[in-house]
Structure 1
Amino acid sequence: MELLTLLLGLLVSAVLCFYAWSSMYRPQNLPPGPTPLPVLGNLLQLKTGQMVDSLQQMHRKYGDVYTLYLGPRRVVVLCGYDAVKEALVDQGEDFGARGLLPAIELYSQGHGVIFSNGDRWKQLRRHTLMSLKNFGMGKRTIEERIKEEAISLAEEFKKTEGAHINPTAYFSQVASNIICSIIFGKRYGYDDPQFLQLMHIIDEIFRAMSSFWGQLFDIFNVVMKHLPGPHHHAAQIAYQLDKFVLERIEEARKTLDPTSPRSMIDTFLIKMEEEKSDPSTVFCMKNFLTNTSSLFVAGTETLSTTLRHGFLLLLKYPHIKCKVQEEIDRVIGRQRVPEPEDRSSMPYTDAVIHEIQRYANVLPMNLPHAVANDTQFRGFTIPKGTDVFPILAFVLRDPKYFQDPFAFNPDHFLDDNGSFKKNKAFMVFSTGKRACLGENLARLEIFIFLTTILQRFDISAPENTESIDISPQMVGFSNIPPTYKISFKPR
């Protein structure tokens, strides 16, 4: 009798598991994809740290649009320029929601312009764009600040007296200082204790998100969010950044003049005061802190990582570096600081910068999107709330638009006459409604920093060029260059 009861229990359990599995993973006119396992989904087919390679294998088998499961979490993957553009631009309203970022969600809780949705996102985006316009993009003041920061960086490199150094900390500091000037209205000296504390916090956040536990949490979030462990470290460190920002907010509040805002902090404080009687306002302290902290991390890490990639690639290909320096000498000379307007007269340098960004592919996975409604796409039905991965790696290496996509070649952006040519598949900053808010600022920063340093210094590596490894390494959801050393000798 006991054996019969046990067998009956096992049978009922098996039926329930099968029912749950079939209900969860029933096709329902979804795009094709690998068959998922109960509970695990397709996790066994994904390699931690090699996510893009795993998705590329599925791309070859299932095409430009396919479905996979991260545990019970359904994800539709978009591959190549045509599919990504069709979704994010042509059907931008449907694909414009922010998808799940598990390691960050613990901290953000859907706040801040990068992680929010709906009306909250629309209002925060409008305010953030206005603030960036007033204190950053398109303003002569920010151009001057970037040039001043580039000169400060050059002075720091001059102090190294041509020794071979790891440039990581230098590029992080210069990137962070530009964000500081926009958000706080001031820059910091590279040895300022407060600034060093800020850099330490940002580095710790990135390390936590990129760690084995951080990556594991992004995949197994359904279970791991309920368990204690090191995968919660990124959120804990983010609260330290909140504390740093909060101290700056209190400093700004003491000297705030509502008629003359000096920074993004001032504009948000003014907006909070204007709407303090509205209980539903999005201009609250949580959105303030999350907005500020996320812009800090995003603006620092993406720019500094791009600069690290850029100088490594120029070490690997010294003939390209020499051609850039020849163009700098011809157009700018060695006496004055490069100006943003110089870029239009420097097609080769412009092409090299674009190719650095394309090859580096800093955010290969993009940030996840989600469909806001039940959506028809290429004959398939994608249910509301489904996460969407528009993979930038497959756009920036789309053989339909780049002749030799896995090679570093500035000719991808040059015509037969040596003039700069645009390429619509250049989606480094993503596209559509969720495209990077700081795109124009980042373009300006990269041009000024790269040309200012190459104008003043020759660069070299301690090893021969054949030994230099330039392969981007995926850490978390970012591509970083291998660690290297570089010498800056005055020209």
Structure 2
Amino acid sequence: MDVIWILMGLLLGLVSIQFMKLRQAAALLPPGPTPLPFIGNLLTIKFQLHHRTLMKLSEIYGNIMTIWVGQTPLIVVNGYEAVKECLINNSEQVSNRPTSPYFKVYSEERGIILSNGLNWKLQRRLVLKILRNLGLGKKVLEWRINVEARHLVEEIVCQKGSATDPNCCIMNAVTNVITAVNFGHNYSLKDEVFHHIINSTNVVANFFGTHWGQLYDAFPWLMHRLPGPQQAMYKHLRFLKEWMLQEIRQHQQNPSPEPQDVVDYYLEQISKEKDDPSSTIGEDNLIHVLMDLVVAGSETVTSTLQWGLLYMAIYQDVQVKVHKEIDAFVESIENLQYEDRLNMPYTNAVIHEVQRVSTVVPLGLPRQCTQDFKLNDYSIRKGTTIIANLASVNMDSKQWKFPDTFNPSNFLDNNEHFQANTAFLPFSAGHRI
């Protein structure tokens, strides 16, 4: 009995010490809900970083507030003015990515999206150069997209009006554009490997925002050893990396006379820099660059197109106006080009409104401070993690005529001309946009 009382006393003392430490640390940060020992505010946010929960909390604690995930504080920024001040006016100061436990597992601090410093700059510069060589912003890439768009329409027409889940065929079309650019080939909708790729991509891309993802970041040492969805995530992540490596090996065994895709161009650059010991252009980074392009690209575009279909189904008056505008301007849908948006203001406004209302990456990706800096009245320390609530910007009542409803008029002036809005941030802002 004495041992139990001693243990309870020690536990109570440990919790009390932890609580006092949290209170002292919280006093130096922007306001927020009181963190509990060990779990922080996980109960308050219901073990999930959800943009609407954070928007409600901002009504209490202000547009710059602190949320604790376990023992790690996150500075959450809401609303256009605060997000602009953080991501644009202090872009250099928040240009890093945090090395959270899940991010480390996913990227190993390589690639573009989650790497930092010189490696990030070199990978980003090289990949942008490669994409431009492959037709980014040019007709050749539009041609690839048009081919897949026609296949997508044919697939939907084949359903003959019966109820169907469009996710798989949309994902197939989007992924095939990306795999054609990455690897020089695409996949059939009936290919079992493709379905495995789609499933793995979904699991890996969505894990971070789930309850389990938050628990993983709060208690990585424990979650790594317990059964649960995180073990499935490991499996899918391994599969994707093995797939990338297999594609690289096939390119090495069957080299093209001239570079045809991302892998070809990157391998060519590896060969050029093989004698430079300081170079970060290597196979490990190539694997993660390919991962970034597939996982980030396919998930965001697929989600946007799904939201677009949903809004066209719900708002059929909008669908009719879009259809009439396209019919009036475009003689043949096969010849549709990106520059045609300039002559179709209503359709362009609808596309932007779909992105605004859906905000498929509502919290963007976290940033990390590269140095101490002032964010409004608050002193933010180097190394602090910052979350920009992009959904709160795209729904800011001070910036939009119809912030909470789907309405293309948000992007049209009084003369029905397309009108851009600086508060339109579907994919973040600043150095890491």
TM-score scaled by length of structure 2: 0.92
1:9 to 1:357, Cα distance in 2 relative to 1, 3 A? closer
Cross-structure match for 1:199? 198
Provide, for residues 126-176 of structure 1, a one-character-per-residue CA deviation record: whole Å limited to 9, x for no partner. 112112222242122111111111112222223223322211111100110
Provide, for residues 306-359 of structure 1, a one-character-per-residue CA deviation record: whole Å limited to 9, x for no partner. 111101100001110000011001111356531112110000000000000111
Counterpart check, 1:175 vs 2:199: no
Counterpart check, 1:142 vs 2:147: no
Q: Which amino acid aligns with 1:303?
A: V
Cross-structure match for 1:395? 393
Most deviating of 388-397 and 275-284: 275-284
Could you tell me how far apart the structure 1 residues matched to 2:378 and 2:163 are?
55
Q: Aligned Cα RMSD in Å? A: 2.5
Cross-structure match for 1:290? 288
Provide, for residues 59-113 of structure 1, a one-character-per-residue CA deviation record: whole Å limited to 9, x for no partner. 0011110112111011100001111111111111111111255434323221111
Q: Residue 75 of structure 1 aligns to a residue in which SS?
A: strand
For structure 2, which runs of at least 5 residues remain unmatched after alignment? Answer: none
1:308 to 1:101, Cα distance in 2 relative to 1, 3 A? farther
User: Is 1:185–1:262's contact at 8 Å kept on the other side of the alignment?
Assistant: yes
Could you tell me how far apart the structure 2 residues matched to 1:350 and 1:245 are?
35
Q: Which amino acid aligns with 1:202?
A: T
Could you tell me how far apart the structure 1 residues matched to 2:78 and 2:210 are?
26
Q: Residue 92 of structure 2 aligns to a residue in which SS?
A: coil
Provide, for residues 384-430 of structure 1, a one-character-per-residue CA deviation record: whole Å limited to 9, x for no partner. 11110101111110111012211000000000000000111100011
Provide, for residues 250-280 of structure 1, a one-character-per-residue CA deviation record: whole Å limited to 9, x for no partner. 12112335x7311111121122222223344
1:211 to 1:260, Cα distance in 2 relative to 1, 3 A? same
Could you tell me how far apart the structure 2 residues matched to 1:272 and 1:265 are?
10
Could you tell me how far apart the structure 2 residues matched to 1:341 and 1:208 are?
36
Q: Residue 389 of structure 1 aligns to a residue in which SS?
A: strand
Cross-structure match for 2:263? 265
For structure 1, which runs of at least 5 residues remain unmatched after alignment? Answer: 436-491
Cross-structure match for 2:62? 63
Q: Residue 32 of structure 1 aligns to a residue in which SS?
A: coil
> Map of 1:91-102 to 2, 5 A cutoff?
91-102=90-101
Cross-structure match for 2:312? 314
> Shift in Å at residue 49 of structure 1?
5.2
Could you tell me how far apart the structure 1 residues matched to 2:387 and 2:333 are?
47
1:20 to 1:197, Cα distance in 2 relative to 1, 3 A? closer
Cross-structure match for 1:123? 122
| Sequence identity percentage | 34
Provide, for residues 211-270 of structure 1, a one-character-per-residue CA deviation record: whole Å limited to 9, x for no partner. 65345324544643454543132232111011112121112112335x731111112112
Q: Which amino acid aligns with 1:134?
A: N
Paired residue total: 432
1:350 to 1:365, Cα distance in 2 relative to 1, 3 A? same
Pick the aligned partner of 1:416 from 411, 414, 417: 414
Q: Which amino acid aligns with 2:72?
A: R
Counterpart check, 1:350 vs 2:345: no
User: Is 1:100–1:368's contact at 8 Å kept on the other side of the alignment?
Assistant: no
User: Is 1:366–1:430's contact at 8 Å kept on the other side of the alignment?
Assistant: yes
> Shift in Å at residue 24 of structure 1?
4.3
Q: Which amino acid aligns with 1:129?
A: L
Pick the aligned partner of 1:370 from 362, 368, 371: 368
User: Is 2:22–2:35's contact at 8 Å kept on the other side of the alignment?
Assistant: no
Q: Which amino acid aligns with 1:71?
A: G
Q: Which amino acid aligns with 2:307?
A: H
1:157 to 1:375, Cα distance in 2 relative to 1, 3 A? same
Could you tell me how far apart the structure 1 residues matched to 2:421 and 2:196 are?
40
Cross-structure match for 1:188? 187
Cross-structure match for 2:338? 340
Q: Residue 335 of structure 2 aligns to a residue in which SS?
A: coil
> Shift in Å at residue 293 of structure 1?
1.3
> Shift in Å at residue 206 of structure 1?
4.4
User: Is 1:136–1:182's contact at 8 Å kept on the other side of the alignment?
Assistant: no
Cross-structure match for 1:252? 251
1:100 to 1:394, Cα distance in 2 relative to 1, 3 A? farther
1:236 to 1:101, Cα distance in 2 relative to 1, 3 A? farther
